Structure 1
Amino acid sequence: MINDNKVIDTLEELEAFLLAVESGGFGLNNVAGVALATNNSDGRPFVAVLDDNHQLLLGRWVTQDVFDNGKELVRRGPNKIH
C-alpha cells in the first residue's frame, strides 16, 4: 500500500528503490514484480511492488518525469553493482 507521502523524483532514487526491493530491504514476502502505474482515482503516478496475484504489496509515488522516463529501468531492472 502507499502509506506515506514520499515521492521518488529522480531516476537515481527509482533505481535505489528497485535495488532495495530486490535485496529484500523492505521485508516484503512473495514479491513477483514491479510496475509503473497510475492511481485510478486521481491519475497520480506511482511505482508498484506486486505479488504473484498482482496485488499491491508496496507503492511509492513518483513524479511525472520519473514515470515517463523510468519505464525502461523498471522493465529491465536496476543496474547491479558488482
Structure 2
Amino acid sequence: MINDNEVIATLEELEAFVLAVESGGLGLNNVAGLALATNNSNGRPFVAVLDDNQQLLLGRWVSDEVFENGKDIVRYGPRKH
C-alpha cells in the first residue's frame, strides 16, 4: 500500500521514516526489512517496508534525489548524530 500524497523528498525525511519503522512507531507487525525499489508500471521510485515473506507492508514514494542518495540509509540505517 503506497499513499500517493506522501512523498519522502529529503534524506532527513528518509532517516525519520526509517527510524519510525525501526522503533515500531508506525504500528506495523512482522517487519523484516526495507528496500528502495521502482514501481514496475511507471518506474516511480519508492521505499518499501517488507515482511519476512518479502511482501510489501507499506511503501512511500521518494524523490529521485532520495532514491539515488538514500541507499546507504536504507542499507545501514540512519546516521548516528
Q: TM-score with structure 1 length normalisation?
A: 0.94
Aligned to 1:42: 42
- Runs (4+) of structure 1 exceeding 6 A deviation are none
Q: Which has the higher strand share?
A: 2
Report how many aligned residue pairs link the two structures: 81
1:80: Cα distance to partner? 4.8
Q: CA RMSD in A?
A: 1.1
User: d(CA) in 1 for partners of 2:80 and 2:32?
Assistant: 19
SS at match of 2:5: coil
User: d(CA) in 2 for partners of 1:48 and 1:5?
Assistant: 16
User: d(CA) in 1 for partners of 2:21 and 2:3?
Assistant: 16
Give percent identity, aligned residues only.
Answer: 80
1:78: Cα distance to partner? 1.3
Q: TM-score with structure 2 length normalisation?
A: 0.95
Gaps of 5+ in 1: none
CA deviations on 1:27-67 (whole Å, 9 max, x unpaired) are 00000000000000000000000000000000000000000
Gaps of 5+ in 2: none
